[in-house]
Structure 1
Amino acid sequence: MSFNIRRTIGRSGIKASAVGLGCWAIGGPFLFDGKNDGWGDVDDAQSTRAIELALDLGGTLFDSADAYGTGHSETVLGQALAGRRAEAVIATKFGFTYDEKAKTLLAPDVSPAYIDWACAQSLRRLRTDYIDLYQIHVGDLDDDAADAAGEALERLAEQGRIRAWGWSTDDAAKAARMLKFPHFAAIQQELNVFSDGPDVLDLCACENLASLNRSPLAMGMLTGKFTQASRLAGSDVRAAGHAWVRHFKDGRPRPEFLARVEAIRDLLTTGGRTPAQGALGWILARSPHTLPIPGFKSEAQVRENLYAIELGPLPPAVMAEIETVLSPTEPA
Structure 2
Amino acid sequence: MDTRFLGRSGIEVSALGMGCWAIGGPFWAGAQPLGWGEVDDDESIRAVRRAVELGVTFFDTANVYGAGHSEKILARALEGRRDEVVIATKFGGTFDEQTRQTGPDDGTPANVERSVRESLRRLGTDYIDLYQLHINSLPIPEALDLVPVLEGLIDQGLIRAYGWSTDFPERADAFATEGRRCATIQADLSVLRGSFEVLPVAAKHDLAVIIRGPLAMGLLGGRYSATSELPRDDVRGLSPEWMTYFRDGRPTPEFLTRIDAVRDILTSNGRTLAQGALAWLWAFDARTIPIPGCRTVAQVEENAGALRHGPLTEPELAEIERLMGRAQSDARADARP
TM-score bin, normalised by smaller chain: over 0.9
One-letter amino acid of the counterpart of residue 64, structure 1? T
Match of 2:94 among 88, 93, 97: 97
Output aligned runs, 1:270-309, within 5 Å. Answer: 270-309=268-307
1:54 maps to which of 51, 54, 57: 51
Aligned to 2:166: 169
1:119 equivalent to 2:123? Answer: no
Shift, 1:199, TM fit: 2.0
CA pair 289-328 structure 1, distance change in 2 beyond 3 A: closer
Amino acid at match of 1:180: E
CA distance in 2, matches of 1:201, 1:122: 29
8 Å CA contact 2:184–2:208 kept in 1: the answer is: yes
Count of equivalent residues: 326
Q: Per-residue displacement from partner, 1:184-215 (whole Å, max 9, x unpaired)?
A: 00000001011143321111112110000000
* Runs (5+) with no aligned partner, structure 1: none
Work out whether 1:140 is the aligned partner of 2:137.
yes
Letter in 2 for 1:274: T
The one of 148, 152, 166 aligned to 2:149: 152
Q: Secondary structure at the residue paired with 1:222?
A: helix
Q: Give the partner amino acid of 1:233.
A: P
Q: Tell whether 2:42 aligns with 1:40.
A: no
Q: Distance in 2 between matches of 1:246 and 1:107?
A: 22
The answer as to 2:78 corresponding to 1:81 is yes
Q: 2:147·2:178 contact (CA, 8 Å) conserved in 1?
A: no
Separation of aligned partners in 2, 1:19 and 1:114: 30
What does residue 9 of structure 2 align with? 12
Please tell me whether the aligned partners of residues 239 and 246 of structure 2 are also in contact (alpha carbons under 8 angstroms).
no
* From 71, 75, 96, the counterpart of 2:68: 71
**Are 1:212 and 1:292, in contact at CA under 8 Å, matched by a contact in 2?**
yes
Alignment of 1:226-305 (within 5 A): 226-305=224-303
Distance 2:174 2:204 in 1: 14
Secondary structure, counterpart of 2:227 in structure 1? coil
Deviation, 1:223, is 1.5
Matched, 1:107 2:104: yes
Read off the aligned partner of 1:9 and give its amino acid letter.
L
Are 2:193 and 1:195 aligned?
yes
Work out the CA distance in 2 between the residues paired with 1:139 and 1:187: 11
The 8 Å contact of residues 58 and 86 in structure 2, kept in 1 or not, is answered as yes
Check the 8 A contact 1:37/1:240 in 2, yes or no.
no
Q: Check if 1:321 corresponds to 2:319.
A: yes
Alpha-carbon offset, residue 322 of structure 1: 0.9
Mapped partners of 1:115, 1:197: distance in 2: 26
Q: CA RMSD in A?
A: 1.3
Distance 1:245 1:57 in 2: 31
Quick one: distance in 1 between partners of 2:192 and 2:218?
A: 12
Task: Give distance in 2, aligned partners of 1:77 and 1:293.
Answer: 15
Structure 1 range deviating more: 244-253 or 223-232: 223-232
- 1:126-157 alpha-carbon deviations (Å, 9 max, x no partner): 11000000000001122321111111111111
**Are the structure 2 counterparts of residues 110 and 278 from structure 1 closer, same or farther at C-alpha, using a change threshold of 3 Å?**
same
Assess if the C-alpha contact under 8 Å between 1:132 and 1:162 holds in 2: yes
State the partner residue of 2:179: 181
Identity %: 48
Q: TM-score, normalised to structure 2's length?
A: 0.94
Please state if 1:29 is matched with 2:26.
Answer: yes
Q: Deviations over 1:32-76 (max 9, x none)?
A: 353001001000000000111111111000000011000000000
- Taking the aligned partners of 1:32 and 1:62, their CA distance within structure 2 comes to 25
Structure 1 residue 106, shift from structure 2 partner: 0.5
| SS of residue paired to 1:185 | strand
Alpha-carbon distance, 1:228 to partner:
1.6
For 2:41 and 2:181, how far apart are their aligned partners in 1? Answer: 33
1:164 CA displacement: 0.1
Q: Whole-Å Cα distance in 2 between the matches of residues 130 and 97 of structure 1? A: 21
Point out where structure 2 has 5 or more consecutive residues left out of the alignment.
328-337
